[in-house]
């Protein structure tokens, strides 16, 4: 029985062959003895065009984790977020000795904006949309309500490409907002560590001062650029994954929550049950009786559906 790994919300597909060929051609000629160009202007400019923003509204980083690290360190005070959510927010807060203030999502996983706004001393608010691990988008009006507080707010948009909801228009209106995205999911580049942020020119300039001048290696930067140039191929994979997500959801409606990302949260902790069947999913130690499963290839998803249906019949 082949083991399958559906535990880290990775893309089941490696980078497309045509892109790999272009990347290899680059690697053959690359000047590895030289530092990257300071600030990676070529990558920043290509991200600017890709997102429809100006280059000074963009910051790139060694995975979006690097930006979370910088932003949380810089906050120097209480960090507000809404559980259940991505564990790295409290991880970095703890690393720097700051207080994590948890304002849990409501029972339908919507944001409790009014409760968040009661924490007037917060130095940073983190909203994750689509949220990991619940999979739902956070409603735009409640995000705006939080942004109106003027407190620096991260909108972690790591699963953007699977959701169809674009928040970049908010960047022009709110100087306290930074939207984080990643090449680790839709772009199949988790191993290369590329993320980026979008926000006001002032906030981006501020963050760049806290970042090392050579923050990313030339290969990761180049591959990200080639991916952007060939976005059509990326889109094909996104469509496949979204179709599969809807298919798996419709098969397992009774035991999963609906999702706008590349994973589904299960209404049961099936970690051990699935592991016994060679299917590795994510245990959610902080969320009782739930687990999370990444959407894989059609064949992998078939195995998932059949294992979970067996479970439900038992
Ligand atoms: N934010 C969320 C919500 C995530 O789920 C992840 C990855 N699991 C990240 C950020 C980190 O992404 P990266 O690989 O770019 O560091």
Indicate whether 37 and 184 sit together in one domain.
Answer: yes
What is the CATH number for 107?
3.40.640.10
Residue 160 near residue 174, CB atoms below 8 Å: no
> 111 and 100: one domain?
yes
Q: Which atom of ligand 1 is nearest to the CA of 9?
A: 8
Q: Are residues 121 and 134 in the same domain?
A: yes
Range of the structural domain that residue 281 is part of: 4-13+232-313
* Ligand 1 touching residue 64 (CB < 6 A): yes
The pair phi, psi for residue 249, each rounded to 5°, is -60, -45
**154 with 177, same domain?**
yes
Domain boundary among 166, 195, 229: 229
Show which of 183, 201, 229 is a domain's final residue: 229
Q: Kindly report the three-state secondary structure assignment for every residue of 106-145.
A: CCCCCCCHHHHHCCCCCCEEEEECCCCCCCCCCCHHHHHH
Q: Which residue has the tokens 């509204």?
A: 57
The answer on 9 and 42 residing in a single domain is no
Are 30 and 160 members of one domain? Answer: yes
CB 87 within 8 Å of CB 205: no
Q: Going by C-beta distance under 8 Å and a sequence separation of 6 or more, which residues neighbour residue 285?
A: none
When divided into structural domains, the chain yields a total of 2
- Does 147 lie in the same domain as 288? no
Pocket lining: 195 vs ligand 1, CB cutoff 6 Å? yes
Q: Residue 63: CB within 6 Å of ligand 1?
A: yes
> 207: part of which helix (H) or strand (E)?
helix 201-209
pTM for this one? 0.97
Structure tokens at 169: 């228009």
131 and 272, same domain (yes or no): no
Contacts 24+ apart (CB under 8 A), 40-49: 40/215, 40/216, 40/221, 42/221, 42/225, 43/216, 43/221, 43/224, 43/225, 46/224, 46/225, 46/228, 46/229, 47/196, 47/224, 47/228
Q: How far, in whole angstroms, is CA 270 from its chain's centroid? A: 23
Q: Please give the angle made by the CA atoms of 147, 153 and 159, to the nearest 5 degrees.
A: 105
CB atoms within 10 A of CB 274: 23
**pLDDT digits over 263-273, tens only?**
999 999 999 99
Same domain for 295 and 194 = no
CATH of the domain at 284: 3.90.1150.10
Q: Are residues 145 and 218 in the same domain?
A: yes
- Full pLDDT tens readout for the chain, 314 residues: 899 999 999 999 999 999 999 999 999 999 999 999 999 999 999 999 999 999 999 999 999 999 999 999 999 999 999 999 999 999 999 999 999 999 999 999 999 999 999 999 999 999 999 999 999 999 999 999 999 999 999 999 999 999 989 999 999 999 999 999 999 999 999 999 999 999 999 999 999 999 999 999 999 999 999 999 999 999 999 999 999 999 999 999 999 999 999 999 999 999 999 999 999 999 998 899 999 999 999 999 999 999 999 999 98
Does 255 share its domain with 113? no
Q: Decide whether any atom of ligand 1 lies within 6 Å of the 135 Cβ.
A: no
pLDDT tens for 247-299 read 999 999 999 999 999 999 999 999 999 999 999 999 998 899 999 999 999 99
Write down which residue in 165, 195, 229 finishes a domain.
229
Q: Ligand 1 centroid vs 34 CA: distance in angstroms?
A: 29
Cα Rg, the chain, nearest whole Å: 20
Q: Is residue 188 located within the same domain as residue 307?
A: no
């Amino acid at each position: 029985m082949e083991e399958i790994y559906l535990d880290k919300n990775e893309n089941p597909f490696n980078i497309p062959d045509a892109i790999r060929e272009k990347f290899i051609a680059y690697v053959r000629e690359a000047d590895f003895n030289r530092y990257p160009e300071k600030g990676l202007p070529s990558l920043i400019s290509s991200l600017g065009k890709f997102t429809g923003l100006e280059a000074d509204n963009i910051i790139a980083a060694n995975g979006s984790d690097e930006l979370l690290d910088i932003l949380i360190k810089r906050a120097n005070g209480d960090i507000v977020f809404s559980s259940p959510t991505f564990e790295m927010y409290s991880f970095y807060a703890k690393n720097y000795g700051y207080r994590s203030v948890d304002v849990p999502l409501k029972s339908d996983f919507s944001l409790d904006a009014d409760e968040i706004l009661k924490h007037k001393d917060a130095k940073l608010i983190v909203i994750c949309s689509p949220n990991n691990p619940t999979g739902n988008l956070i409603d735009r009006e409640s995000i705006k309500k939080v942004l109106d507080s003027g407190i620096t707010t991260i909108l972690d948009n790591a699963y953007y490409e699977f959701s169809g909801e674009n928040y970049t228009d908010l960047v022009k209106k709110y100087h306290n907002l930074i939207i984080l995205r990643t090449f680790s999911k839709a772009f199949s580049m988790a191993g290369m560590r590329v993320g980026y942020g979008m926000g006001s020119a002032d906030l981006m300039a501020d963050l760049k001062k806290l970042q090392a001048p050579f923050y990313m290696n030339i290969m990761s930067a180049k591959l990200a650029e080639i991916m952007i140039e060939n976005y059509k191929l990326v889109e094909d994979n996104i469509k496949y994954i979204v179709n599969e997500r809807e298919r798996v959801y419709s098969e397992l409606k009774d035991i999963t929550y609906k999702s706008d990302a590349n994973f589904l949260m299960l209404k049961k902790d099936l970690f051990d049950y699935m592991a016994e069947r060679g299917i590795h999913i994510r245990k959610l130690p902080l969320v009782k009786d739930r687990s999370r499963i990444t959407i894989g290839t059609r064949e992998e998803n078939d195995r998932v559906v059949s294992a979970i249906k067996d479970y439900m019949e038992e």
